[in-house]
Amino acid sequence: MVQILDSTLREGEQTPGVYFSPDKKLYIAQMLDQIGVDIIEVGNPAVDREIALAIQQIAHAGLKAKIGAHSLCTIDNVQQALDCGVEFLGVFFSVSQQRLETDYNICLNQAIDKIVEVISYAKLQQPNLLVRYTLEDTVRSPLENVIDAASAAVKAGANIISIADTTGYATPFYTSRSISFYVQTLKTELESRGFYPQIEVHCHNDKGLALANVLDAYRAGANIIDVAIMGLGERAGIVDLAELLINLIDMGEAEKQWQLNHLRDLYNFISEHSHIPIPPHQPIIGKNAFTHYAGVHVKAIGKDERLYQSLNPEILGCKSSLALGIQSGYAAMEMALKNIGREDIIFDKHLVAEILQRVKEIAKTGVSIDIDQELPSIVDSCYTRKSKK
Ligand code: HCA
Ligand code: CU
């Protein structure tokens, strides 16, 4: 069974302009716990006192999910994270040649010494701590560096090795640049050295391939996948939680391990408090994700929804719906009239045609027509006009 790590409260808060107060963070963590994610990465306590407070509160909230903090590869930062009472610690340090030379100004061996020192320290302080070592920018780092650093980290006590596509560089089907290649190679290389860590994947969406890349990693045997609500994160963000869960179910994961019916409320909460609207055509969660519009579609779904739906909205606790506008035909009009309890006028074909005409006129002004809110008054005005004739 694959595990889900939600990083909305860490990576997600790296979206410019996004900040959740400790109270909101606690609520979000509780909702994520109800949905059934396995690990909640809350943030780095060194960034701000309020973030440290939120980590402490969530770590002591009695949630089923493991609560984690993010940390730079320094003893001080690790100590701050441990002081928050977490059971999961994520330490990251890049071993890409460019980063070592241009930013850190150290050689690979010095980098490995640092990684080993910090991980050993964390494990010594808290032996049952789950430690993840992330090779930041894994896919643009020389494979030898990745294998050496990962082996040393596991030897020092790391339980999880995370492959990070920090810049959204990876591509499925492109062997040496695919996340599956890294998952397989790392597993094989580490196993040949007698190491069996869990393998995590963290993929950014710079080219729109984050979801494809993590599914590729899943097929290759990745144990933990990172996500954020609405795919929030640095630049183009990371993998979206809802999209990942739906695809994992499609690929054979058991649906009952997640309470998908809580997703919509959580997404609305995040959208409201991040001030980032959910696009109407957002998969799974968007307002139009299960809305049918064009005449041919509506006519067909009137007979069987599955003709234009491969997902069942009921698993998300919602129903499919209709939209009215310039694309609508008689079938949609009839269904919409039934929805608002006006089947009494369906027999009057002239009146229905008039209502449809009015709907199309309104739609041409570029507004959408809400069936429950607006259709009744359109019907009334057409009805009154007709009776006056
Ligand atoms: C960052 C970079 C990171 C780290 C991932 C991790 C990435 O913002 O610190 O620590 O697992 O994409 O590499 O998010
Ligand atoms: Cu990231």
- Kindly give the confidence (pLDDT) of every residue in the chain, 389 residues in length, as a single tens digit, with 9 standing for 90 and above: 999 999 999 999 999 999 999 999 999 999 999 999 999 999 999 999 999 999 999 999 999 999 999 999 999 999 999 999 999 999 999 999 999 999 999 999 999 999 999 999 999 999 999 999 999 999 999 999 999 999 999 999 999 999 999 999 999 988 889 999 999 999 999 999 999 999 999 999 999 999 999 999 999 999 999 999 999 999 999 999 999 999 999 999 999 999 999 999 999 999 999 999 999 999 999 999 999 999 999 999 999 999 999 999 999 999 999 999 999 999 999 999 999 999 999 999 999 999 999 999 999 999 888 899 999 999 999 988 877 76
Ligand nearest to the CA of 231: 2
Is 60 annotated in the active site? no
Residues 6 or more apart whose CB falls under 8 angstroms from that of 170 comprise 139, 177, 178, 179, 203, 209, 213
Q: Residue-wise over 180-198: b if at least 16 C-beta within 10 A, else e? A: bbbbbbbbebbeeeebebe
The residue whose CB lies within 8 Å of the most ligand 1 atoms, and thus the one to mutate among 72, 95, 162, 202, is: 202
Q: Indicate if ligand 1 lies below 6 Å from the C-beta of 202.
A: yes
> CA 109 to CA 122: how far, in whole Å?
20
Mutate which of 130, 134, 239 to test ligand 1's pocket (most atoms within 8 Å of Cβ)?
Answer: 134
11 lines ligand 1 (CB under 6 A): yes
208 with 231: CB under 8 angstroms? Answer: no
Q: Is the distance from the beta carbon of residue 234 to the nearest atom of ligand 1 less than 6 Å?
A: yes
Tokens of 14: 């790296």
Measured in Å, residue 90 CA sits from the centre of ligand 1 at: 9
CB of residue 162 inside a 6 A radius of ligand 1: yes
Find where tokens 């041919």 sit.
296
Which residue, judged by its Cα, is nearest atom 11 of ligand 1? 134
CA dihedral of residues 166, 231, 289, 260 (deg, nearest 10): 120
Beta strands in the chain (DSSP E): 3-6, 39-43, 66-72, 88-92, 130-135, 160-165, 198-203, 224-227, 291-292, 321-322
Instruction: Please tell me the distance between residue 241's alpha carbon and the centre of ligand 2 in angstroms.
Output: 14
CA of 237 to the centre of ligand 2 (A): 8
The pTM score is: 0.95
**Of 11, 132, 239, which is best to mutate to test ligand 1, by the most ligand atoms within 8 angstroms of its C-beta?**
11
Residue 340 Cα to chain centre, angstroms: 35
Rounded Cα distance between 163 and 137, Å, is 8
Spatial distance between the Cα atoms of 161 and 91, rounded to a whole number of angstroms: 10
Would you state the structure tokens that stand for residue 159, as one six-digit string?
Answer: 């339980």
What is the per-residue pLDDT for 176? 87
